[in-house]
Structure 1
């Protein structure tokens, strides 16, 4: 009998669900709104209904499903408990208990959303075949996933892959976690925009001023990289700062994990070709052991599908 795996990627605004078969073929359900403001029980009920509908559409019974994996935008214990998921306002929730009400005989696994994206890239994508790898997701925040000996590594309490909270400097604003200097406050799309807005009034000749109609609230990370392509001085300063701190983060991770590959994902990775040469250069300049080989840096391949596909793979990796 064929075996199937279900993956659920819970985002701040939408939920994506995939059904993956034993041949790694994935079928996706239509995205549904997270509606986290209505409470986690409401969201879990919607997800359960979506899973049931996806199974029915593909003539798969729940008895044929090996496991259900769920990617969470926050901190989990890697088993069943969500400590905190700030973007959806979930705190101290045992998600497996809720899922058991709908699927009592099916194993349920949970993990951080960036960690499951790393699993997807390891199983299908840019780091397939790498025994040890680190994924860095550069989006609204900075997340990460760590693969050691072909297994997802989350540490004793599930926080080993909180790459965005590596402290890499002293910044002009605090991170949402309360600390100052987190990688997330230098290398996320949010951080890039905040720094651009800080420079805005002192750069009257910048193309960024022109492109935003002199309104700093119109700045986006994409716009900054577009200006960078046109060799705008303000954009160069912003991207240089981003690359500098990303290289510091990579060096710290290299010294701890020594992976074969670093994979860069998330929305900011769309500009990968614009910053990779400078990033490689700065990483090489900061190498602790300059005569030793280092892990290569590559771009993620799976895009927005990585979360749901990786969540489905949790049953194989945990």
Structure 2
């Protein structure tokens, strides 16, 4: 029996799991990333924790066939992290080489969003589809694109960064350095920004009362919850969000022509109201033929998406 380690490295925490060939998580642990202590320290602690987990599961170290690492930032050749923005490490960070040196195992590294998409393709909502796009919506937004069963990486690992397509050249400055990126509108951060802007202009509404007038405490969930209940003020904010989202999805449809779009991440928990809004505006931005047989779904892997996606990188034999 072969086993695989799936490791989801975030700026704050690292989620570690051991999976079987079917993609079932047999056990998992979480540790602090503490990247300020250096990459070697972090990776050594990851491997030590993986070995501890294997021992608890009565799995020998030799039975761990390979390690999949998910990490934020563009990744080149399943090896080098071009921009390690969330960590106290240098860019062009050799993640694969370092983990292989420490573990003695085959290692593949992938961008966290792309690996969520691969995980959904193999084990979740994308099963049975050769061409799928997974769109996690959280603090930011990106697209994990699967074409003919394979992750679309791009020459420098930047494929799928549709959150940084400029949709308003006179819009907000984005953290990437561009102005008016889709992400500044279609993310938890974006909808909260729009909500705060409107609340500063109008306090006579249910949303203002829900947050007791504390505009700084506003969260995306507040807006979506009230919109679902029929609150006109909140519905208009969601509508604004959904039109920009439809513009972004329309670009993906026209370029990739997928069979299914899978929404995941925190904002996707809004479900129906998000999907209805996107579908309402999508005909303005997508070719009719790309929508004829298009399916929509919501991610099935939830909090296990990072671990399963990372493991999918080494379990996937395609």
**TM-score, normalization by structure 2:** 0.94
| Structure 1 partner of 2:272 | 273
Q: Which moved more, 1:245-254 or 1:41-50?
A: 41-50
Residue 98 of structure 1: aligned partner? 98
- Cα deviation, 1:204-224, whole Å, max 9, x if unaligned, reads 112221122211110001111
In structure 1, what is the equivalent of residue 35 of structure 2?
A: 36
The change in CA–CA distance for 1:251 and 1:294 in structure 2 (over 3 A counts) is: farther
> Distance in 2 between the 1:165 and 1:28 partners?
36
What root-mean-square deviation, in Å, do the aligned CA atoms of Structure 1 and Structure 2 show?
A: 1.8
Q: Which residue is equivalent to 1:304? A: 303
Indicate the larger mover: 9-18 or 262-271: 9-18
Q: Displacement, 1:266?
A: 0.6
How far did 1:139 drift? 0.6
Q: Is the 8 A contact 1:136 1:163 kept in 2?
A: no
Q: Report the CA distance between 1:149 and its aligned residue.
A: 0.7
CA distance in 1 between counterparts of 2:231 and 2:301 reads 31
Residue matched to 1:203 = 202
CA distance in 1 between counterparts of 2:293 and 2:247 reads 14
Q: List 4+ stretches of structure 1 deviating above 3 A.
A: 289-292
Length, aligned pairs only: 316
- Counterpart CA distance in 2 for 1:183 and 1:109 is 30
> Offset of 1:160 from its aligned partner?
0.9
CA distance in 1 between partners of 2:188 and 2:259 (Å): 26
Do 1:18 and 1:28's aligned partners in 2 also have CA atoms closer than 8 Å? Answer: yes
Rounded to whole Å, the distance in 2 between the matches of 1:19 and 1:30 is 9
Distance 1:191 1:294 in 2: 30
Taking structure 1 as reference, are residues 82 and 292 closer, same or farther at Cα in structure 2, changes over 3 Å only? closer
Alignment deviations for residues 168-205 of structure 1 (CA, whole Å, 9 cap, x no partner) = 22354211100112221111101111111111211111
- Residue segments in structure 1 that go unaligned for 5+ positions in a row: none
Q: Helix, strand or coil for the counterpart of 2:62? A: helix
Displacement of 1:92 in angstroms is 2.3
By how many angstroms is 1:138 displaced?
Answer: 0.2
Partner of 1:3: 2
* 2:174 partner SS: coil
Indicate the residue corresponding to 1:61 in structure 2: 60
Alignment match, 1:220:
219
Give distance in 1, aligned partners of 2:203 and 2:291. 45
Of residues 278-287 and 133-142 in structure 1, the stretch that sits farther from structure 2 once superposed is: 278-287
Deviation larger for 198-207 or 239-248: 198-207
Give the equivalent residue in structure 2 for 1:313.
312
Partners of 1:164 and 1:184 within 8 A in 2: yes
State the shift of 1:317 in Å.
5.2
- What's the counterpart of residue 118 of structure 2? 119
1:16–1:28 contact (8 Å) kept in structure 2: no
Separation in structure 1 between the aligned mates of residue 266 and residue 201 of structure 2, nearest angstrom:
27
Report what 1:139 is aligned to. Answer: 138
Answer yes or no: is the 8 Å Cα contact 1:284–1:290 preserved in 2: no
Q: 1:246 matched to which residue of 2? A: 245
TM-score after normalising by structure 1: 0.94
Distance 1:35 1:65 in 2: 25
Q: CA deviation at 1:162?
A: 1.5
Alignment of 1:169-184 (within 5 A): 169-170=168-169, 172-184=171-183
Residue 261 of structure 1 is matched in structure 2 by 260
